[in-house]
Amino acid sequence: MDVLSVRQRLEAICDELDRSIKVLNGTGEHKQWAGEYPQDPADAGANLSENERSEAVLAAARRQRSDVLAALHRIDLGTYGTCAECGGPVPEGRLEAKPEAARCVACQAKLDRRRR
Ligand SMILES: [Zn+2]
């Protein structure tokens, strides 16, 4: 595995997430501002789902950003590509699809089941 190109990819993803988070945070400010004005209930409902959606996107972006930073840290430690749960290798195909992946497919599936 070419760790250098993985690092560049992770850094590019992190930059992109930083930009998205900034934009989404901007929407959050707009939400507070809009809240000071009485609104048509239909409009308020539409805004709410819009805000909820952008908050969900923001939460996902923040989570992915911390995964990406953790992956960069693992490159520094030399443990990148090793599953954080079982210590086994994370398949390269999985890392290509999701370079910030910290776990092998089996351990991630287990974790996802526990979260739900
Ligand atoms: Zn594992």
pTM of the prediction?
Answer: 0.76
Around Cβ 71, how many Cβ atoms within 10 Å?
Answer: 23
Q: List pLDDT tens digits, range 21-54.
A: 999 888 655 555 555 555 566 666 666 687 888 8
Å from CA of 73 to ligand 1 middle: 18
Distance 113 CA to ligand 1 centre (A): 14
Distance CA 115, CA 8 (A): 30
Q: Running DSSP on this structure, what letter comes out for residue 89? A: B
What does the DSSP 8-state code read for residue 101?
-
The answer for residues whose C-beta is within 8 angstroms of residue 84's C-beta and 6 or more apart is: 102, 103, 107
Determine the average pLDDT of the residues in 9-28: 90
> Rounded to the nearest whole angstrom, what is the distance from the C-alpha of residue 69 to the centroid of ligand 1?
20
DSSP reduced 3-state for 82: strand
